[in-house]
Structure 1
Amino acid sequence: MEWMSPLDALFVLGEGRAHPMHVGSVLLFEPPADAGPGWVDTVWETLRADGPVHPLFRTRPHRIGGVGYPRWRVEPRVDLNSHVRRWGVPGAGSVADLFEVVSLLHAAVLDPDRPAWEVHLIEGLADGRIAVYAKMHHALADGVTAMHLLEQTLTTEHDRHRPPRAPWQQLRSLPTPDPASPRSRPSVLGLARPLRAAADLAPAAARVAWTALRLQHTPWPWQAPRTVLNTPVGGARRCTGRSWPLERVRQVAKSAGTTVNDVVLALAAGGLRGYLSERGALPGKPLIAMVPVSLHPSSTTSTAASGNQLAAVLCPLATDVADPLARLHAISAAMHDRKRLYRKMSPAEAMAASALLLTPAALTVLPGTAGRADPVFNLVISNVPGPRDPLYWHGARLDATYPMSIPIDGLALNITVTGTATSLDVGLTACRRTLPDIDRLLDHFDTTLAELENAS
């Protein structure tokens, strides 16, 4: 068994009934034109078929006696019946009904005694499409790793009729830890390894973080305003998603001289401004988003790059600016400054600097502290690169991918964006008690995109 990295261990140690620590995705597929009445049954049988299971899908967090520093344990076998399930959409079979099912599934904590993933096939949508909801513990994979797994499972237009595979039936294989290896045996020295690695990076992290604060005007801790988003969360979740043509977003970016990611952040900023104004809860100070930045090599295609390889920036969202185009340019300038600094760092330095910068945030999520102090940031907004080409599974075209993430105490909303070859797909995950009407936020996304199109 291998010891976890400090970052992965945080996701395990921070898990609880009201704080499930898994990420997920809702994939919507349009069945092929020649799909018969038994097509969904064929899809289901593929998911349940016995065969070799990729080591990543046989891995689970393990703590001796349920306490202590967590390690990775690779199980010799997996009972697929405990991980793969089939559901029907209730009611009229609308996409809203689908997300009610997903909300219930996403709220459930993964069984700690089994490998840390589940896949759910969901049928019964009125428009004939099917959905796959998959979730995996965040300690096991970040969004980029999950997207690479997805792309290896699906096929392109040219080989759309290739025999389908489930994600855990990949041909590439991760090395399985050798239980007899000294590296795998529990020991004080084994635990010291990840701690020593973090300590070795501390001087560089301090230097880089201080440079960031001086040169980028990165917000100091506790400068974000208090909002309804920054309260304790319950265990119930509210998940939803919506798509927009990617070309509309690209045209705004081109006209404004910004990046697509800048426009995504501006859509979130405008959506939040409208949503909070509607509730009479818009603060006078700008909201601050924590924006993860992937450190994965751009050429990564192997599932061996599991775990979390992320840095983070704190970006003011200019929600105090009424003009949508001026808000976009303010966000673009802020992100440009922060990304410029990370380009000068090694991945290890960037991760260490991010950890140091975000350390105060850990204090605000301790039991009983959420809402008592000004937050370090108000929410997390992630943009996970999606597939660039049309993709298929069992001959069915992938229509949309809606990422689902992790609300925690003090951070009741998470926005994660990805896309297909032609669409921008936005997934929202929220505490149901705090934000039951989160679909209204997506309405304000739509309004903001139209405003940016008119202004640019």
Structure 2
Amino acid sequence: MELISPTDLIFLLGESREHPMHVGGLSLYELPDGAGPDFVRELYEELVTVEDFQPTFRKHPATLLGGVANVGWTYDDDVDLDYHLRRSALPSPGRIRDLLELTSRLHGTLLDRHRPLWEANLIEGLPDRQFAVYTKIHHSLIDGVSALKLTERTLSTDPNDTEVRAPWALPPKKSTRRGDGSVGQLLRTVADTAGSVAGVAPSTVKLARAALLEQQLTLPFGAPKTILNGKIGGARRVAAQSWPQDRVKRVKQAAGVTVNDVVLAMCAGALRAYLIEQQALPDAPLIAMVPVSLRSEADADAGGNQVGAVLCNLATDVEDPAVRLATISDSMAGNKKVFAELPKLQALALSAALLSPLGLVVLPGIVGNTPPPFNIVISNVPGPRQPMYWKGARLTGSYPLSIAMDGQAVNITLVSNGDRLDFGIVGCRRSVPHLQRLLGHLEDALKDLERAVCG
């Protein structure tokens, strides 16, 4: 039996019916030219023959004699692939809306801890010669971005490559672990370096005084209370949509900011409009927690994790989209400047301090009796830069679906995918009504930015 690491144990102990701790992904594919109506069935039949399971896809928590659970991992020698790999079809006419409704239900159900902690669903019946794949895997096994990268490894840049690669059969890839900008990777980064950080405790205390007091870093627990920051139920709703990167880059160039600044301004405009619609916009600006790379150009090729968390003023109290974008850019630049001036271990220690409130949601009474540490997590993750194919089917959308929790009822994660940005939004079905309206507000926010700064 293999002992469960403290970092992985956090995700297992923190899970409940209200807090499923798996990460997911929804991928859309376009059938290759000449493909017949049996393409998805044939793909499924090829996949079920792949029974070489890597260790990550064979393990689940062991229960020891006496009923003690969550101590170690056990590995299944005979994985029931018919259970883990499912084939589904949408009712006619098979709208994208129906796909998102199905994905919402799948994303809100717990994984069976008596089996390896993953599932995959091939979904057909979509319009325009499309099919979809929804996958989910427990965060104790892998973080969301690593799962996306694993899926990417099953794909090919060659549309004529007809080999079917299954993610559960791919051997681990040796990585420089450069950090991917995700919350899960940040948690693992902090845990991996905890011993080193403890060894520099005196300098870390000095750092905290300088960074938090003198440099006016944006601090947790200064965010306003909103409908996004209460207790949640277990049911989920997901929303997904893509935007051309060219539109975002035009705003970036016209305003002299970064792509991530524009993305955050899109989200800020959408959240402002949504909360106005719900008659729930606070007077104070919303604060986003944004995972970022702390790597400088000087160590761009070095190994190791260098991922941090900054808190960004989303300026949702500002009506002018150009002023809102400038405020967001200044907030991100100012907060990242603090980290850039710190040694790596101290920067990780500060990130841990900013991120630690996420661990407090499991304590009774915390969410209802304290201000939210921040209002929302927004992650921007790099993806493939060129078109990708799976058995000749082109990947047309790759939507990451993360975790909602008490006090953080909505999560926005996006991934770059060729010439597009694919947004995946996850929210509590009960406390965030009409979540899908955020997609329309994101489009309106981008249009407002284009008019305001591009002329």
- The two structures have a TM-score, normalised by structure 2, of 0.87
> 2:16 — aligned with what?
16
- The change in CA–CA distance for 1:451 and 1:162 in structure 2 (over 3 A counts) is same
Bigger Cα displacement from structure 2, 235-244 vs 213-222: 213-222
Q: Identical aligned pairs, as a percentage?
A: 48
User: Quick one: which of 353, 363, 367 aligns to 2:364?
Assistant: 367
Q: Is the 8 A contact 1:226 1:371 kept in 2?
A: no
Over the residues paired in the alignment, what is the CA RMSD in angstroms?
Answer: 2.9
Bigger Cα displacement from structure 2, 63-72 vs 228-237: 63-72
> 2:57 — aligned with what?
57
Bigger Cα displacement from structure 2, 227-236 vs 333-342: 333-342
> 1:313 — aligned with what?
310
Q: How does 1:69-80 map to 2 (within 5 A)?
A: 70-80=71-81
Q: Is the 8 A contact 1:54 1:173 kept in 2?
A: no
- The change in CA–CA distance for 1:339 and 1:160 in structure 2 (over 3 A counts) is farther
Structure 1 distance, partners of 2:162, 2:198, is 48
Structure 1 distance, partners of 2:290, 2:452, is 25
- The change in CA–CA distance for 1:74 and 1:195 in structure 2 (over 3 A counts) is farther
> 1:276 — aligned with what?
275
Q: How does 1:239-388 map to 2 (within 5 A)?
A: 239-294=238-293, 310-344=307-341, 349-388=346-385
Residue identity matched to 2:9: A
Residue identity matched to 1:434: S
Give the number of aligned pairs.
Answer: 434
> 1:397 — aligned with what?
394
Deviation at 1:363, TM superposition (A): 3.1
Q: Is the 8 A contact 1:225 1:378 kept in 2?
A: yes
| 2:240 match: secondary structure | strand
Deviation at 1:334, TM superposition (A): 1.4
Quick check: 1:7 aligned with 2:7? Answer: yes
Structure 1 distance, partners of 2:250, 2:93, is 36
User: Quick one: which of 416, 423, 434 aligns to 1:426?
Assistant: 423
Residue identity matched to 1:339: K
Structure 2 unmatched runs, 5+: 175-191
| 2:447 match: secondary structure | helix
- The change in CA–CA distance for 1:9 and 1:211 in structure 2 (over 3 A counts) is farther
- The change in CA–CA distance for 1:239 and 1:66 in structure 2 (over 3 A counts) is farther
Deviation at 1:339, TM superposition (A): 2.4
Structure 1 distance, partners of 2:302, 2:156, is 18
Structure 1 distance, partners of 2:393, 2:14, is 38
Structure 1 distance, partners of 2:203, 2:149, is 31
Residue identity matched to 1:110: L
Q: Is the 8 A contact 1:22 1:137 kept in 2?
A: yes
> 2:449 — aligned with what?
452
- The change in CA–CA distance for 1:309 and 1:72 in structure 2 (over 3 A counts) is farther
Deviation at 1:367, TM superposition (A): 3.1
Deviation at 1:300, TM superposition (A): 10
Bigger Cα displacement from structure 2, 242-251 vs 44-53: 44-53
Deviations 1:63-103 (A, max 9, x none): 65665764444444422122111111135311110011001
Residue identity matched to 1:34: G
Structure 2 distance, partners of 1:398, 1:173, is 22
| 2:368 match: secondary structure | coil
Residue identity matched to 1:37: P
- The change in CA–CA distance for 1:3 and 1:294 in structure 2 (over 3 A counts) is farther
Structure 2 distance, partners of 1:203, 1:61, is 38
Structure 2 distance, partners of 1:266, 1:242, is 17
Structure 1 unmatched runs, 5+: 175-192
Structure 2 distance, partners of 1:91, 1:368, is 46
| 1:383 match: secondary structure | strand
Bigger Cα displacement from structure 2, 137-146 vs 336-345: 336-345
